[in-house]
Amino acid sequence: MKALRPLGLLALLALAVLFPLLFPNPAVDTVAVLTVLFATAVTAWNTFSGYSGYISIGHAAFFGIGSYAVAILCQDWHVPGGYLPFLLLPLAGLIAVAFAIPMGWIALRTRKHTFVILTIAMFFIMQLMAFNLRSVTNGSRGMSLPIPVSWSGAFYDLPFYYVGLALLLVAVALSWWIRNSKYGLGLLAIRDDEDRARGLGVRTGAFKLTAFVLAAFFFGMVGGLHAYFVESIFPAFAFDPLIDLMVALMAFLGGLGTISGPLLGAVILVPAQQFFTIWFNKPGFYLMIYGAMFLAIILLLPQGIVPALRGRFTKAETLAGPVRSGDDGDVAAAVAWAGDVGDGERGGGA
Amino acid sequence: MSLLQTRAVSKAFGGVQALDGCTLGVERGSLTGLIGPNGSGKTTLFNVMTGYEAVDGCTVTFDGHEITNATPDRVFQLGIGRTFQLTRIFPRLTVLENMHVAAQREGWRSLFGRWSSSREHQRALELLDFVGLTRLQDVPAGNLSYGQKKLLEFAYVLVAEPDVILLDEPAGGVNPTMIHYLTDRIRELNQRGVTFLMVEHNMEFVMGLCDRVVVMNHGEIIAEGEPEAVRSDPKVLEAYLGA
């Protein structure tokens, strides 16, 4: 089983790389571009919110900042359409970072619900600024990005898809690396009991802020890429609260804090959104389905798909009963109690 | 000079004076018990010593360094480990991962190494063996029994090789065989030079283990000395029995 894993991952990677060649249909490829963009965003978001337990509903602000950064830079530096705007993406990410450091520094002084509310507030402050700082953002009239005129309709999606896929691979690799590092373990400890972690020498403040800012860096790049992909941006769409809800929903559906879960969430939800939009023939109807899904996930699959499946597979193997997060199951407690007595006796005899 | 020393520590929560001029010294290599009725300020004193509670106008020193109002991570790095009355472990991490959280390293670069480096891994396994939890190393810590959680918390405090360990009710809610087991572990560590300060309500446990007992009541230290002397001190009897 374990030996098959690298093979499975390679097959998935090959599928991702070959996807636009296997399905050379522009409508399908547009969905694929959006999927890799959201998958990148949710992976980065999960590296902060999933690992540390600080649920941010404001990272879409950095998506918007990245969008405007690329639009403004292209306009001011007269960047022509083509491959050049892609080179601006790391810069867009860094601009998002410049905003994220003070915002995170303030927001991370609070916890739990207060933190969620603060991130939402910060998001709307940024959106209002995009509407009102007309000299910078052109207000509600929006901005246009350079159009790559030489790219044919059939070719158009490909550069975006592959740049997006490259970002996704970097985000996933980083997420995996962090999960296996001392730093990541510190984030997980913060999720479980922040004060306790601090009492064991974990520098909680620095850990949380770096993860918050790292996620913002990816949101900035994804926002920039998305802006270039859709060719024009407006405050209400660049700073779209639905992006945050989508990202959170993807992570919760797939499995918060896991690496594959958020990816699975993105692969399910982005195409589903496009499908529902076409099916109902009206934009926005999919939101009702999403609302129902959110309820269903919380009631039926509170841990998400990946941990639920994993729990099913390992159930029989683990000594202490079903692997559940947080609370003790009755069975688990009983089994563990039996083990406890055994240990005590062994210790007592020694 | 005492290894851990507080001078005139006072702390009030609103109108409640939790600590009132507590001066307490813990000698190097000692096993000191801190007892007193519920609400007498024992845990608050622990919190002040370990940076969980801020105070002003008094001093806490450890091994000659002033640590008054130092942050909990700093206090831990200096060599004071503690456990909590309501055991605090990381429930969704495995037992082994819990051990590795406590093994924080110096410097930023080291943070990006794998958490399970070989030397720390070896040390974590030794300590799990020491408290008898080796068999459960891959189980999420939330699935352990209450007594096992206490042992795990005790074990991961040991990871950083602290000079002093503050135990907040180590025997509370733990079955008698486990208490016996824990006593042996504490004695063994003390022989290796670790200093202990423990809050405990189980008198048999405290009197049997500690070489010195400090009694608190209403935020003040009312008696201290050898267990036998404290046991018959009239002020102590009054505090406990209200006689």
Nearest CA distance, B223 vs chain A (angstrom): 30
Confidence of residue A90 (pLDDT cuts 50, 70, 90): very high
Is B175–A184 a contact, with Cβ atoms under 8 angstroms apart? no
pLDDT of residue B225: 85
Question: Which domain range does residue B60 map to?
Answer: 4-241
Dihedral angle of Cα A337, B115, A314, A343, to the nearest 10 degrees: -20
> Residue range B92-115: average pLDDT?
76
Return contacts of A115-119, CB within 8 angstroms, 24+ apart: A115/A54, A115/A55, A115/A56, A116/A55, A116/A56, A116/A57, A118/A58, A119/A56, A119/A57, A119/A58, A119/A59
- Among A95-104, A257-266, B95-104, which is the least confidently predicted range? B95-104
CA distances from B154 to A317, A327, B140 (A): 27, 21, 17
**Quick check: A142 pLDDT over 90?**
no
Is B97–A185 a contact, with Cβ atoms under 8 angstroms apart? yes
**Quick check: A50 pLDDT over 50?**
yes
pLDDT of residue B233: 83
Nearest CA to B109 among A76, A93, A181? A181
> Residue range A1-19: average pLDDT?
82
Nearest CA to A229 among A17, A81, A77, A79? A81
**Quick check: A325 pLDDT over 60?**
no
Highest mean predicted confidence (pLDDT) among A24-33, A223-232, A319-328, B197-206: A223-232
Interface test with A, best of B82, B99, B101, B187 (most A CBs within 10 A): B101
Give SS3 for B3.
coil
**Quick check: A56 pLDDT over 80?**
yes
Confidence of residue B105 (pLDDT cuts 50, 70, 90): low
Highest mean predicted confidence (pLDDT) among A84-93, A313-322, B160-169: A84-93
**Quick check: A24 pLDDT over 50?**
yes
Nearest residue, CB atoms, A192 vs list B51, B73, B90 = B90
Is A188–B50 a contact, with Cβ atoms under 8 angstroms apart? no
pLDDT of residue A308: 83
Give SS3 for A312.
helix
Query: Average pLDDT over chain A, rounded to whole?
Result: 84
Number of domains in chain B: 1
User: What is the Cα–Cα distance from A96 to A205, expressed in whole angstroms?
Assistant: 20
Residues of A in contact with B71 (CB under 8 A): 198
Beta bridge partners of A232: A144
Element (H, E) at B4: strand B4-13
CB under 8 Å to A149, separation ≥6 — which residues? A81
pLDDT of residue B27: 86
**Quick check: A330 pLDDT over 50?**
no
Say which residue the tokens 């992976």 belong to: A43
Residue A337 burial (10 A CB sphere; 0-12, 13-18, 19+): middle
User: What is the Cα–Cα distance from A24 to A6, expressed in whole angstroms?
Assistant: 28
User: What is the Cα–Cα distance from A304 to B127, expressed in whole angstroms?
Assistant: 34
Residues of B in contact with A307 (CB under 8 A): none
**Quick check: A349 pLDDT over 50?**
no
pLDDT of residue B65: 84
Domain boundaries, chain A: 26-269, 319-350
Nearest CA distance, B219 vs chain A (angstrom): 24
CB under 8 Å to B2, separation ≥6 — which residues? B25, B26, B27, B28
pLDDT of residue A314: 64
**Quick check: A116 pLDDT over 90?**
yes
Cβ-based neighbour number of residue A331 at 10 Å:
12
> Residue range A67-89: average pLDDT?
90
Say which residue the tokens 């563990």 belong to: A336
Is A200–B76 a contact, with Cβ atoms under 8 angstroms apart? yes
Confidence of residue A315 (pLDDT cuts 50, 70, 90): low
Nearest residue, CB atoms, B110 vs list A182, A333, A343 = A182
> Residue range B44-51: average pLDDT?
86
Is B177–A348 a contact, with Cβ atoms under 8 angstroms apart? yes
Pairing of strands B80-82, B4-13: unpaired
- Among A31-35, B49-53, B106-110, which is the least confidently predicted range? B106-110
Contact between B24 and B6 under an 8 Å Cβ cutoff? The reply is yes
Backbone dihedral region for residue B21 (phi beyond 0: left; psi -120 to 50: alpha; all else: beta): left
Nearest residue, CB atoms, B113 vs list A182, A189, A199 = A182
**Quick check: B109 pLDDT over 70?**
no
Is A201–B178 a contact, with Cβ atoms under 8 angstroms apart? no
Please list, residue by residue across A215-235, b when 16 or more beta carbons sit within 10 angstroms of its beta carbon and e when fewer do: bbbbbbbbbbbbbbbeeebbb
pLDDT digits 0-9 by tens, A143-174? 888 888 888 878 888 899 999 999 999 999 99
% of chain B residues with pLDDT over 70: 93
User: What is the Cα–Cα distance from B190 to A79, expressed in whole angstroms?
Assistant: 71
**Quick check: A320 pLDDT over 80?**
no
Residues of B in contact with A327 (CB under 8 A): 91, 142
Chain-centre distance of CA A177, in angstroms? 16
**Quick check: A336 pLDDT over 70?**
no
Residues of B in contact with A336 (CB under 8 A): 136, 139, 143-145, 148
**Quick check: A321 pLDDT over 60?**
no
ipTM of the prediction greater than 0.90, yes or no: no
Helical H runs in B134-175? 146-158
pLDDT of residue A32: 92
Confidence of residue B149 (pLDDT cuts 50, 70, 90): confident
- Among A223-227, B26-30, B61-65, B102-106, which is the least confidently predicted range? B102-106
Confidence of residue A2 (pLDDT cuts 50, 70, 90): low
Pairing of strands B212-217, B195-199: unpaired
**DSSP state for residue A1 in the 8-state scheme:** -
Nearest CA distance, A119 vs chain B (angstrom): 26
For residue B140, give the chain A residue with the closest CA: A323
pLDDT digits 0-9 by tens, A175-211? 999 998 888 999 999 999 998 888 888 888 999 999 9
CATH code, domain carrying B227: 3.40.50.300
pLDDT of residue B111: 67
- Among A19-23, A26-30, A320-324, which is the least confidently predicted range? A320-324
Please indicate whether residue A69 or residue B109 has the higher confidence score (pLDDT).
Answer: A69
